[in-house]
Structure 1
Amino acid sequence: MFGIRKNDFTIEAASFNLSNPWNILRIICGAFMFPHAASKFVNGALSVGTVGFFAKAGFAPPEFWVVLAALVEVGTGIALVLGICTRFAALGAAGALLIAVYALQVVKGFGWTWNTGGYEYPVFWGIVCITVAMNEFKRVNGSK
């Protein structure tokens, strides 16, 4: 089943059982989205540097896209941490990270390592989020 179910919106105690490594990975994926959202703001306003980066990447108007990105990051982060709509939240987070990779490519050109401004970090977390989504689709469909 690939559609949204009523149970997708239920917060379950089993989602916080830390003896299940998938729960740990899902929670970490969600928690890692919050610093990305927070970095888009400085002193209660949009970060001028982030707005400039979005403008250079071709996102117009950049302020709208910065706010949208922050909302996606907060929304997917909350859903992943709480274990609600996990399949779709993980795919949404991976999509946001894919767009970040695209923007880095447009603005900085090819660069791999994160410490030089490359996209190693968002690629890694995007793959992890896709893995979380795949596991959840498998779990929901009753596969082993």
Structure 2
Amino acid sequence: MPETSATTPYAAALLRIAQGVMFLAHGAVLKLGTFGLAGTMGYFASIGYPAALGAVVIAAEILGGLALIAGFATRWVSLALVPLMLGAMLQHTGNGWLFNVPGGGWEYPAFWTVTLLVQAGLGAGAWALDGVRTAARRPAIA
């Protein structure tokens, strides 16, 4: 078994890319493709939030998903997405723990919150623009 330090960058990359794909799918396919911008904004208004927040969440999920896939500003993007998951969790708290109940439970967004915090702690890992930017800033060794 390889040392943990040898596999950590790849594990962080796997987590980052999986999160990015899920956020991209959730924002682009579910919210825009299934419900549309007007439908999503209407839903947000129906649960007591400003309708425009629906558009902000769509943009955050799509742009955040793309940034995570690319490994761009991974720590900051992960932390920026935490409030979205906390908002989703709060929206589902009255439904109970499991997401299979009507209206969905709060365990799924709670788990997402934890994974985003873990990603922020781990950083981008392998195959990330973060690593390219960091390498470009390092002084050359003579």
TM over 0.5: same fold?
Answer: yes
| SS of aligned partner of 2:123 | helix
- Determine if the alignment matches structure 1 residue 129 to structure 2 residue 129: no
Residue 83 (structure 1) shift: 0.5
Read off the aligned partner of 1:86 and give its amino acid letter. T
Q: Would the alpha carbon gap of residues 44 and 114 (structure 1) be closer, same or farther in structure 2, given more than 3 Å must change?
A: closer
CA distance in 2, matches of 1:55, 1:44: 14
CA distance in 1, matches of 2:98, 2:75: 28
Which residue number in structure 1 is paired with residue 90 of structure 2? 102
Aligned length: 116
Q: Would the alpha carbon gap of residues 115 and 129 (structure 1) be closer, same or farther in structure 2, given more than 3 Å must change?
A: same
Which residue number in structure 1 is paired with residue 69 of structure 2? 81
Asked if structure 1 preserves the Cα contact closer than 8 Å seen for 2:32 and 2:58, the reply is: no
Q: Would the alpha carbon gap of residues 99 and 43 (structure 1) be closer, same or farther in structure 2, given more than 3 Å must change?
A: closer
Asked if structure 2 preserves the Cα contact closer than 8 Å seen for 1:114 and 1:121, the reply is: yes
Residue 41 (structure 1) shift: 2.4
Residue 19 (structure 1) shift: 7.1
Read off the aligned partner of 1:28 and give its amino acid letter. A
Give the structure with higher Rg (CA).
2
Indicate the larger mover: 84-93 or 31-40.
Answer: 31-40
Asked if structure 2 preserves the Cα contact closer than 8 Å seen for 1:30 and 1:81, the reply is: yes
Identity %, equivalent residues: 30
Deviations for 1:61-102, whole angstroms, at most 9, x for unmatched residues? Answer: x1x111110000011111111001000111112221111112
CA distance in 1, matches of 2:35, 2:112: 27
Asked if structure 2 preserves the Cα contact closer than 8 Å seen for 1:104 and 1:118, the reply is: yes
TM-score normalised to structure 1 length: 0.69
Residue 46 (structure 1) shift: 2.4
Query: In structure 2, which of residues 79, 96, 99 is the aligned counterpart of residue 91 of structure 1?
Result: 79
CA distance in 1, matches of 2:35, 2:99: 27
Asked if structure 2 preserves the Cα contact closer than 8 Å seen for 1:76 and 1:89, the reply is: yes
